[in-house]
């Protein structure tokens, strides 16, 4: 514990909007300022390399993979000042309490994740983290149809699972006007908790 108040910063947006790049930029700056930094991401995300947070433009930073949000608490060292968490949408609602706990310990918690799922619905736990955060950054991609700023992720394959890991061949960013939600998608929440971890 120390006397500095901790904080939660959320970086969110669609895929290809530069969330990981922005997370890496902030962690790098903290590191240059000689603050102890630790980064985490869920084990589900196997794109590219196993032990780094890698953005789509291949800039990277070392990180620890975790199975659950709670694993982060046991891995964070007492002298760590800044905790980065990427792909937060895969860590579930448990992440909310973890971020609160770390921030209450005086740490700066920087969380990056998708704020909407492929249906265009809020993607937990990002909505809850937005409410609790000291700082919010919405990153925008470029709509692949019309070139406007894009905040939705269009799934290009037919699947009704909420989580399908992939990049350019499976998803593309779209603006509000060009986004086509899948059939049956509405603003109701997902059908059952079981769909959360499918895939």
> Which residues have a catalytic role annotated?
87
CB of 175 to Zn ion, least distance (A): 3
Residue 148 is a binding residue for Zn ion (CB under 5 A): yes
The stretches of 47-181 forming alpha helices (DSSP H) are 69-75, 94-104, 126-132
Binding-site string for Zn ion from residue 155 to residue 194, where x marks contact by CB under 5 A and - marks none: --------------------x--x----------------
Residue 145 is a binding residue for Zn ion (CB under 5 A): yes
- Identify which range of 88-96, 143-151, 165-173, 191-199 contacts Zn ion by CB under 5 A: 143-151
Beta-strand ranges (E) seen in the chain are 7-13, 37-42, 52-54, 60-62, 64-66, 82-85, 108-114, 135-139, 141-142, 149-150, 152-155, 171-174
193 C-beta neighbours (distance < 10 Å), count: 10
Single out the residue of 146, 165, 167, 198 in contact with Zn ion (rule: CB under 5 A): 146
CB of 186 to Zn ion, least distance (A): 21
Residue with tokens 């603006």: 175
What is the DSSP code (8-state) at residue 42? E
Closest CA to 113 of 91, 143, 94: 91
Residue closer to Zn ion by CB (options 72, 143) is: 143
Residue 96 is a binding residue for Zn ion (CB under 5 A): no
Query: Under the rule (CB under 5 A), what is the footprint of Zn ion?
Result: 143, 145-146, 148, 175, 178
């Amino acid at each position: 514990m120390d006397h500095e108040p901790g904080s939660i910063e959320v970086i969110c947006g669609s895929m290809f909007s530069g969330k990981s790049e922005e997370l890496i930029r902030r962690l790098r700056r903290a590191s240059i300022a000689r603050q102890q930094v630790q980064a985490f991401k869920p084990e589900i995300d196997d794109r590219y390399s196993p032990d780094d947070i890698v953005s789509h433009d291949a800039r990277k930073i070392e990180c620890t993979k975790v199975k659950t949000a709670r694993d982060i608490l046991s891995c964070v060292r007492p002298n760590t000042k800044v905790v980065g968490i990427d792909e937060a949408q895969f860590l579930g609602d448990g992440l909310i309490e973890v971020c609160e706990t770390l921030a209450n310990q005086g740490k700066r918690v920087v969380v990056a994740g998708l704020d909407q799922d492929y249906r265009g619905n809020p993607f937990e736990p990002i909505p809850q983290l937005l409410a609790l955060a000291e700082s919010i950054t919405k990153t925008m991609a470029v709509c692949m149809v019309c070139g406007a700023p894009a905040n939705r992720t269009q799934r290009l394959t037919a699947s009704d699972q909420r989580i399908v890991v992939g990049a350019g061949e499976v998803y593309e960013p779209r603006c509000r006007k060009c986004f086509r939600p899948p059939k049956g998608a509405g603003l109701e929440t997902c059908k059952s908790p079981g769909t959360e971890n499918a895939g």
